[in-house]
């Protein structure tokens, strides 16, 4: 079944005088996606999101959301979107529930009390609903921000760096929450991040942008399959193996010498040839561990971009 296009950017550019923040950007987010919006800091992610939310007007190009032109149907678009942009801002001396009540009334949310209970449970904050926000950890404040973005039951949520500033446990909880929102509630998510593992672990599709431009867009698994493997070989004499390869045509593929192994960056089809060269030179190979990393691919694609 063909999925609806929830976001469609076509050749979008945003200039601030002599600075081009977004440069001819095109991307498509489909219904049901967890769509990774990946790029280094300063790549134009936040500016792009602000244009999607009609907070900033593009200099040129076209933005279509849920089949509407954002320029002429702003209300229809925004009633279907929830957003967490940067750090959420709440009344610190009020309880979480009271904050949600105030924000829900401002947005004219229907059946507000029931919705508050639903989003508190979904984000794991029910037990702390009566606690003042000033007592919350950063991770809890982020989850409360997501609860607020879900109050009006949107079709899609845009999350801008939701794991920024969180410890590893907080990042793990955020990933689990994102999966739950998408899987159990059927909410499409655009996840903007510079944290590579965050995108790799939760997104099904992504775009990588660099210097305001789209470098590549597609299925996460497919894009990773196009990248090189980082291959660690446990060998009997790592130094000899490293020296041998350094004097061969594989020199440019060497990555690191470890105490018990060597690491190379190879295409999958190249592994047998390296294996054969080492074996024929009397070096025993105990294990070959290939790892495909979004980090490698990201650095390669943005540096080339």
| Residue ranges of domains in the chain | 5-225, 229-304
CB contact at 8 A, 71 and 10: no
Percentage above 90 pLDDT, the chain: 66
Residue 87 has pLDDT above 90, yes or no: no
Residue 151 is given by DSSP the state T
Percentage above 70 pLDDT, the chain: 93
CB contact at 8 A, 244 and 277: yes
The 10s digit of each residue's pLDDT in 9-68 is 999 999 998 999 999 999 999 999 999 998 888 889 999 999 999 999 999 999 999 999
Query: In the CATH scheme, what is the code of domain 229-304?
Result: 3.30.70
The 10s digit of each residue's pLDDT in 247-300 is 999 998 888 888 889 998 887 788 899 999 999 999 999 999 876 656 666 666
* C-alpha 246, offset from chain centre: 37
Q: Which class is 5-225 in CATH?
A: alpha beta
Residue 244: pLDDT band (50, 70, 90) is: very high
Kindly report the pTM of this predicted structure.
0.78
The 10s digit of each residue's pLDDT in 103-139 is 999 888 889 999 999 999 999 999 999 999 999 999 9
Q: Which of 227, 194, 222 is nearest to 297 (CA)?
A: 227
Q: CA–CA distance from 187 to each of 20, 45, 149, 183, 190 (Å)? A: 32, 21, 12, 8, 10
CA distance 151 to 110: 9
The position carrying tokens 């009397």 is 282
Q: Which of 198, 187, 177 is nearest to 121 (CA)?
A: 177
CB contact at 8 A, 32 and 175: no
pLDDT of residue 210: 86
């Amino acid at each position: 079944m063909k999925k609806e296009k929830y976001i469609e950017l076509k050749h979008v550019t945003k200039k601030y005088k002599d600075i081009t923040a977004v440069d001819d950007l095109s991307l498509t987010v489909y219904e049901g996606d967890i769509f990774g919006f990946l790029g280094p800091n300063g790549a134009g992610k936040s500016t792009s999101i602000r244009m999607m939310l009609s907070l900033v007007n593009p200099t040129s190009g076209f933005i279509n959301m849920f089949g509407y032109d954002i320029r002429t149907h702003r209300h229809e678009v925004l009633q279907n979107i929830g957003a967490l942009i940067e750090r959420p801002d709440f009344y610190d001396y009020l309880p979480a529930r009271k904050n949600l009540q105030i924000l829900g009334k401002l947005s004219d949310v229907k059946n507000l009390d029931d919705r508050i209970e639903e989003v508190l449970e979904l984000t794991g904050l029910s037990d702390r609903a009566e606690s003042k926000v000033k007592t919350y950890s950063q991770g809890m404040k982020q989850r409360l921000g997501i609860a607020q973005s879900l109050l009006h039951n949107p079709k899609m949520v845009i999350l801008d760096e939701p794991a920024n500033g969180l410890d590893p446990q907080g990042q793990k909880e955020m990933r689990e929450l994102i999966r739950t929102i998408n899987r159990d509630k059927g909410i499409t998510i655009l996840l903007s991040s510079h944290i590579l593992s965050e995108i790799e672990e939760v997104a099904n599709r992504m775009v990588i942008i660099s210097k305001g431009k789209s470098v590549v867009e597609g299925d996460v698994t497919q894009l990773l399959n196009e990248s090189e493997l980082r291959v660690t070989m446990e060998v009997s004499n790592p130094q000899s193996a490293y020296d041998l390869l350094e004097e061969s045509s594989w020199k440019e593929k060497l990555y690191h010498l470890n105490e018990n192994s060597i690491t190379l960056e190879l295409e999958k089809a190249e592994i047998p040839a390296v294996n054969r060269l080492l074996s024929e030179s009397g070096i025993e190979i105990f294990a070959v561990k290939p790892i495909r990393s979004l980090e490698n691919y990201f650095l390669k694609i943005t540096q080339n971009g």
